[in-house]
Amino acid sequence: MWVLLCAIVVFIFLLNKYLSREYDYFEKRGIPFSKPRFIVGSRMDFILRNKSFLDVFKDVHNEFRYEKVSGLFDFSNPVYVIRDPYLIKQLGVKEFDHFVDHNFLMDTDPSSLFNKALFNLQGQKWRDMRATLSPAFSGSKMRQMFELMNVVGQQFTDYLIQKTKQGEHSFEFKELARKFAVDVIATCALGIEVNSFENPENEFYQFACNLLDHLKSFFTMLKIVGFFFLPNFMLKLKVGLLRESATQFFRTAVTETIKTREEKSIIRPDIIYLLMQAKKGKLFYETEKDADKAVEGFATAEESHVGRRTVTRNWEYDDLVAQSMSFFFAGYETVSTIISFTAYELMINTDCQAKLQKEVDEVHRKLDGKPVTYDEIQRMKYLDQVISETLRKYPSPVVDRLCNKDFVLEYDDKKFTIEKGRSFYIPIGGIHYDDRYYKNPEKFDPERFNEENRGKIDPATYLPFGVGPRNCIGSRFALTEIKTIVYYLALYFNFEPTARTEIPIKVKYNPLPGNRFNLVNGAWLKCIPRKMSAV
């Protein structure tokens, strides 16, 4: 018994020595840092999961709010925190070639679809895939895909109108928004029309629900801990994040669709068609037309020189299938969350709801019974302000970058080397709530983004879609999708609280990719049909 006890003590001592071997990393460089704890480093939040991911990175930002650079420990690994706008632009844009990749891979099986997805790719392969895909998300391509989104938006509102006529007015909006997001992805990415509102048992929606449950499971969280603690061990085991059945679903859906279209010469303005063009080397970046630039939303992420290159690389089918899956992850949970929070904020801020409805009504009358167009949606200034402010309050809380070659960072009186293999975080959640950049940041105020005020915003303090060449490739798509459904909702309904509405809404920790906020008790809203005389 004494031998066993001594062995345990020695093991704990040696483990602590190993894990704490770099705990003096930032102290040597004169950089303030979050004090690490045994095993977890600065990531007790990851273990306790007692805060939302947004609140975690608000705290990270605020702990050293007036320091341009600080440090924390992802378990035993030192990670820089960059919060100064100038340094964010320097490292994220100007010196991008030193910080191309993400640090944390969510899959260690090199043959998995998840590992071939754009957000997981690194180095030259990422550059080539980014350049291959970027033409698919230009303003002109969004104009072509808008009609597909528009149909789903009308299905959403038709469903709500039907339910309210039956006396049902209280809805858990996150679930409705997920159905909308799934249907848009199905029709725009896979060429499948499913209508999850009328047919919630359809294969695609059920797959989405099952996949989300899998990603929230305890077993999946254990895998993520393994990716943090033992990346090399996980790599040797080729551990994948997704079940094989999930990846096979995408393989089957995409390859069968492509095969059918090739056999029957079907052309449909969606992502599948664009991927087919990319595989044939026929998809090229087009310089944005003035008409497209003029109607872009404030939050739209501009494509960099990386995405404007011409690529001649031959891609395998799995590479293209992986991008469809990537599109699903990026669009499903993120878009449904932003739609839910937009509706929630309009419900609380009735003055904003009324102002948006006034703008929507004017567009509706102008159209005189004709369907809303891409250009009309994009020209709506207050709608863009509402979405921009929602993205400020509910951003993806953090982005990371991995240093791929030594870089000497100089600022103020400090000078030190960020070595190859080190990484840094940009705490977007904290920056978006810093009152130095946004007065009264807890308040939902779309006027921050009106024509007079938006020019005062430093782009490095507004990062809803990330920063630099590795920003979100689908920002135009996401913004168009969100604006379309918010247009229809504002046109036909008033939002009011229900007995189940939580104010403020409660969110909990969820570090999974594409899942910004895990709502504790959902987003409950009452949808009251507007009198048609009002529109």
Instruction: Quote the CA–CA distance of 473 and 137 in Å, as a whole number.
Output: 7
Q: Which of 203-212, 396-405, 422-431 has the lowest mean pLDDT?
A: 203-212
Q: Cβ distance 476 to 296 under 8 Å?
A: yes
Instruction: Quote the CA–CA distance of 492 and 357 in Å, as a whole number.
Output: 9
Asked if the structure places residue 435 within a domain, the reply is yes
Cis, bond preceding 504 (omega within 30 deg of 0) = yes
Q: In the prediction, which pLDDT does 533 show?
A: 47
Residue pointed to by tokens 């930002």: 61
Q: Which of 96-110, 179-193, 338-352, 496-510 has the lowest mean pLDDT?
A: 96-110
Parent domain of 221: 84-534
Q: What percent of the chain has pLDDT over 90?
A: 50
Q: In the prediction, which pLDDT does 67 show?
A: 97
Q: In the prediction, which pLDDT does 492 show?
A: 96
Q: In the prediction, which pLDDT does 135 show?
A: 87
CATH number of the CATH domain containing 177? 1.10.630.10
> Which residues contact residue 358 at a Cβ distance below 8 angstroms, ignoring those fewer than 6 apart?
none
- pLDDT of 292 above 50: yes
Q: In the prediction, which pLDDT does 408 show?
A: 97
Residue pointed to by tokens 């946004």: 438
Write the DSSP symbol of residue 33. Answer: B
- pLDDT of 328 above 50: yes
Asked if the structure places residue 154 within a domain, the reply is yes
CB atoms within 10 A of CB 432: 24
Asked if the structure places residue 442 within a domain, the reply is yes
Asked if the structure places residue 68 within a domain, the reply is no
Amino acid at 443: K
The pLDDT-based confidence of 229 (bands split at 50, 70, 90) is low
Residue list, annotated binding site: 472
E strands, 110-255, are 170-172
Number of domains in the chain: 1
Helix 173-189 vs helix 203-215: crossing angle, to nearest 10: 120
Amino acid at 408: V
Closest CA to 432 of 445, 450, 421: 445
Q: Which of 135-144, 229-238, 356-365 has the lowest mean pLDDT?
A: 229-238
- pLDDT of 531 above 70: yes
Q: Which helix (H) or strand (E) holds 130?
A: helix 123-133
Torsion of CA 286, 291, 297, 303, to 10 degrees: 20
What are 90-126's pLDDT values in tens digits?
Answer: 999 999 999 999 886 666 666 677 788 888 888 999 9
Q: In the prediction, which pLDDT does 91 show?
A: 97
CB atoms within 10 A of CB 398: 21
Q: In the prediction, which pLDDT does 110 show?
A: 63
Asked if the structure places residue 481 within a domain, the reply is yes
Residue list, annotated binding site for heme: 472
Asked if the structure places residue 187 within a domain, the reply is yes
The pLDDT-based confidence of 219 (bands split at 50, 70, 90) is confident
Best-predicted range by mean pLDDT among 3-7, 10-14, 197-201, 357-361? 357-361
Mean pLDDT score across all residues of the chain:
87
Q: And the tokens for 58?
A: 């608000």
Asked if the structure places residue 63 within a domain, the reply is no
**300 or 292: whose pLDDT is higher?**
300
What are 48-99's pLDDT values in tens digits?
Answer: 777 888 898 999 999 999 999 999 998 888 999 999 999 999 999 999 999 9
SS (HEC) of 43-101: CHHHHHCCCCHHHHHHHHHHHCCCCCEEEEEECCEEEEEECCHHHHHHHHHHCHHHCCE
- pLDDT of 516 above 70: no
Asked if the structure places residue 483 within a domain, the reply is yes
The pLDDT-based confidence of 228 (bands split at 50, 70, 90) is low
Q: Which helix (H) or strand (E) holds 385?
A: helix 381-393
